[in-house]
Amino acid sequence: QVQLAESGGGLVQAGGSLRLSCAASGRTFSNFGMGWFRQAPGKEREFVATINWSGGSTYCADSVKGRFTISRDNAKNTVYLQMNNLKPEDTAVYYCGRAYSGGVYTNNRLYAYWGQGTQVTVSS
């Protein structure tokens, strides 16, 4: 069974930065694509960023391009989301997911496992 544990969320002022981490259990972490999604109150879960198995391919949502960066360290079984120039509209619970396969995926239905989420709150 794969377990994902997010950390690094918190309260930050607009314009500030946070780095989220997602630690995965299991020995096959490096075989799979990973992604970050977020869900604000009353809204559906939305795609934020995704990275392929090697880290050589990444893709971010238009709303975060130029501000957020996804990366991974396969030796540590961890994926990161560096968030800079945060805005109040970035406020949400952020979830990491492990995909069924090794590519990049924007559709949450292509993810097999999810973490419990970490709250990010950006004050204006």
3-state SS assignment for residue 28: coil
Q: What is the DSSP string of 41-107?
A: TTS--EEEEEE-TTSS-EEE-TTTTTTEEEEEETTTTEEEEEE-S--GGG-EEEEEEEESSSS----
Give the pLDDT confidence score for residue 27 in this predicted structure.
76
pLDDT band at 62 (very low <50, low <70, confident <90, very high): very high
Q: CA-CA distance, 59 to 111, in Å (whole number)?
A: 15
pLDDT band at 26 (very low <50, low <70, confident <90, very high): confident
pLDDT band at 18 (very low <50, low <70, confident <90, very high): very high
Pairing of the two strands 10-13 and 118-123: parallel
CB of 46 within 8 A of CB of 8? no
pLDDT exceeding 70 applies to what percent of the chain? Answer: 100
